[in-house]
Amino acid sequence: MQLTILLIPCILIRYTLYTFSMIKPNVTEMETEIGNQLRIYVYRVPKKNHDSIVENQERFTETFRKHGCYYQSYQLGNTETSEVFASMASIMSANKEEEVWLDLEAYRDRQHMKEVVSKIESDEVALSLMKQYLHLLSPGSSPIVAEFEHLSIQGKEE
């Protein structure tokens, strides 16, 4: 069941790279520019805090992008799965009064991530937004955090 959670960032970054490749034809160049290092956060938010978390994430997105990081938030939609997969909502123990969110940060590499995080840690607006964010989460919950490195796997051409 844990494997299901780990597949989400892979699917999201591939989708992002595919979308960007429509604009920028060289996907390898795009992967070098963004997406070799990912950090994801998965968390629960009470439905009553929906509008507040949306506003918070809009400002967070601006702040991260200002410091050179691709940042995007996603809200869990359909929770139906086949028998082979586990639902993200059930893995996160979300109840009917909660939403499950995922934030994706993409960096060129680990060094780029360290540089951006350092800038954000000294940005008063970002620190204020982080405090607001933590207060909007479901009581007693903590975000799940994970970092991923891109694997250079080449598919076979037919």
Provide the number of structural domains found in the chain: 1
Question: Which candidate, 109, 110, 130, places its Cα nearest to that of 120?
Answer: 130
Residue 157 lies in a domain: no
Residue 158 lies in a domain: no
* CA 93-86-156 angle, 5° bins: 135
**φ and ψ at residue 113, rounded to 5 degrees:** -60, -45
pLDDT in tens, 12-23: 555 555 555 454
Residue 43 lies in a domain: yes
pLDDT in tens, 11-65: 555 555 555 545 444 444 444 566 789 999 999 999 999 999 999 999 999 999 9
Half-sphere exposure of 30 (CA within 13 A, CB side): 16
Tell me which residue range forms the domain holding 9.
Answer: 2-149
Its pTM stands at 0.75
Residue 156 lies in a domain: no
Adjacency order of strands within the sheet including 98-107: 70-75, 98-107, 37-46, 144-149
Query: Sign of torsion, CA 90 92 93 97?
Result: negative
Mean confidence (pLDDT) of the chain: 82
CA dihedral 136, 102, 127, 149 (to 10 degrees): 160
The domain that contains 94 carries what CATH number? 3.30.70.100
Residue 119 lies in a domain: yes
Residue 64 lies in a domain: yes
Using pLDDT thresholds of 50, 70 and 90, give the confidence band for residue 5: low
Tokens found for residue 92: 């996160």
Residue 77 lies in a domain: yes
* The pLDDT of residue 1 is above 70: no
Residue 154 lies in a domain: no
| In contact, 17 and 70? CB cutoff 8 Å | no
